[in-house]
């Protein structure tokens, strides 16, 4: 692998050709948009300014975001609003479940904001949502992307006991950059969350962003740390500055480098990897060959 070359500010302003986003539309896009708006749902697609929103919505899928749209943390990479959240919507689990049914999803992805303002950090709301989705959509694969819950095992158990098929929690970046990039969250805490999920027998998943100033060696070390924690699935994507208030991109990683990370990851023992410039946590989640048989 070639060493990374950090870009100048002038270089960073010019996005490389491989980051050009294709516009998507069509019947499925309109259908998803209407369902989201009708049920007053939050999605990380729009809240997080995801570059793949058009593509995913055109494929008839979206990543639902529960527990409101205001986060109690203010990570420097994230575009989600931060501040004092509103009370939880008791009808949200039913609305999510019904929307999944209307979309005809075989694989759904649900995430949430951090709710450090709540005693249970919204763990019971998570369980209610998963249970309602399962009741209305018994055949759907349920993938959840959860906060760290401060690695409180009793809170993690509430989510685990609702039995989603996949539980993801993102380390987001390498250990050295974690204090700079994430608010409150700690690298080791995230690894401990992944380990606890893995020990439960549920498939664990995590994701990291690159282009924040990390080295190749640090990315590989992070991947190894995740494998050692029992992580089975990983996503690796380019960090893109969502707003001027967020931390700047330090470097654009080449598609070849992403391919190299994917090769190394499989050699380490990951069972499924999405690695590419526009990859995000839930990107192509329904394509995971781990769940091919269930999806047929």
57 or 107: whose pLDDT is higher? Answer: 107
Find how far residue 168's CA is from the centre of its chain: 7
Of 93, 101, 102, residue with least CA distance to 131: 93
The pTM of this model reads: 0.83
Q: Residues 149, 156: contact at Cβ < 8 Å? A: yes
Question: Which position has the higher pLDDT, 211 or 289?
Answer: 211
Cα gap 1→158, rounded to integer Å: 43
Band (pLDDT 50/70/90 cuts) for residue 26 is low
- Residue 57's pLDDT band (cuts 50, 70, 90): very low
Interval 8-24: pLDDT, tens: 554 555 788 877 665 54
Band the pLDDT of 296: cuts 50, 70, 90.
Answer: very low
**Top-confidence residue, 83 or 48:** 83
Tokens coding 215 = 């080295």
Q: What is the pLDDT of residue 99?
A: 85
Cβ atoms of 278 and 237 within 8 Å: the answer is yes
pLDDT confidence of 294, banded at 50, 70, 90?
Answer: very low
Residue 294 tokens, joined: 């269930």
Tell whether the model's pLDDT for residue 267 goes beyond 60.
yes
What is the mean predicted confidence (pLDDT) over 42-70?
60
Q: Render 186-214 in DSSP notation, one character per residue.
A: -HHHHHHHHHHHHHTTSEEEEEEEE-SS-
Q: What is the mean pLDDT of the chain?
A: 84
Those residues whose C-beta lies under 8 Å from the C-beta of residue 292, and which sit 6 or more positions away, are none
Choice between 251 and 80, residue whose per-residue pLDDT is larger = 251
What Cα–Cα distance (Å) separates residue 170 from each residue in 36, 62, 90?
Answer: 25, 18, 26
**Which domains are seen in the chain, by residue range?**
9-295 (3.20.20.70)
Kindly report which listed range (7-11, 70-74, 118-122, 222-226) carries the lowest average pLDDT score.
7-11
Write the DSSP symbol of residue 172.
Answer: B
Q: How confident is the model at residue 278 (pLDDT cuts 50, 70, 90)?
A: confident
> In sequence order, what are the residues at sequence separation of 6 or more whose Cβ sits closer than 8 angstroms to the Cβ of residue 44?
50, 63, 64, 65, 80, 111, 282
Contact yes or no for 57/32 (Cβ under 8 A): yes
Euclidean distance between CA atoms 275 and 253, whole angstroms: 11
Q: Strand (E) positions, the chain?
A: 42-43, 63-66, 70-71, 81-82, 107-112, 141-145, 166-168, 203-210, 233-238, 272-276
Tens digit of pLDDT for each residue in 75-127? 998 888 899 999 999 999 999 998 888 888 888 889 999 999 999 999 999 99
pLDDT score for 268: 97
Q: How confident is the model at residue 131 (pLDDT cuts 50, 70, 90)?
A: very high
Q: DSSP class of residue 286?
A: G
CA angle 222–187–287, rounded 5-degree value: 55
């Amino acid at each position: 692998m070639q060493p990374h070359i950090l870009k100048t500010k002038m270089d960073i302003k010019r996005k490389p050709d491989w980051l050009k986003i294709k516009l998507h539309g069509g019947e499925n896009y309109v259908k998803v948009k209407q369902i989201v708006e009708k049920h007053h749902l939050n999605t990380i697609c729009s809240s997080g300014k995801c570059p793949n929103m058009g593509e995913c919505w055109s494929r008839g899928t979206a990543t639902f975001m529960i527990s409101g749209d205001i986060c109690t943390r203010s990570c420097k990479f994230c575009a989600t609003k931060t501040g004092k959240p509103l009370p939880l919507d008791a009808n949200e689990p039913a609305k999510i479940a019904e929307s999944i049914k209307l979309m005809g999803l075989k694989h759904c992805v649900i995430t949430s904001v951090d709710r450090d303002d709540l005693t249970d950090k919204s763990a019971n709301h998570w369980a209610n949502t998963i249970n309602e989705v399962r009741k209305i959509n018994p055949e759907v694969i349920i993938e959840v992307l959860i906060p760290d819950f401060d690695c409180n095992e009793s809170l993690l158990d509430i989510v685990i006991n609702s039995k989603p098929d996949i539980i993801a929690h993102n380390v987001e970046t390498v250990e050295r950059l974690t204090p700079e990039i994430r608010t409150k969250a700690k690298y080791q805490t995230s690894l401990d969350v992944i380990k606890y999920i893995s020990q439960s027998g549920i498939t664990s998943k995590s994701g990291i962003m690159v282009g924040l100033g990390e080295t190749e060696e640090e990315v590989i070390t992070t991947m190894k740390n995740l494998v050692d924690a029992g992580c089975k699935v990983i996503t690796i994507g380019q960090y893109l500055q969502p707003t001027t208030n967020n931390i700047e991109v330090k470097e654009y990683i080449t598609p070849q480098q992403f391919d190299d990370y994917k090769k190394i990851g499989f050699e380490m023992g990951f069972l499924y990897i999405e690695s590419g410039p526009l990859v995000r946590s839930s990107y192509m989640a329904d394509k995971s060959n781990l769940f091919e048989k269930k999806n047929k």
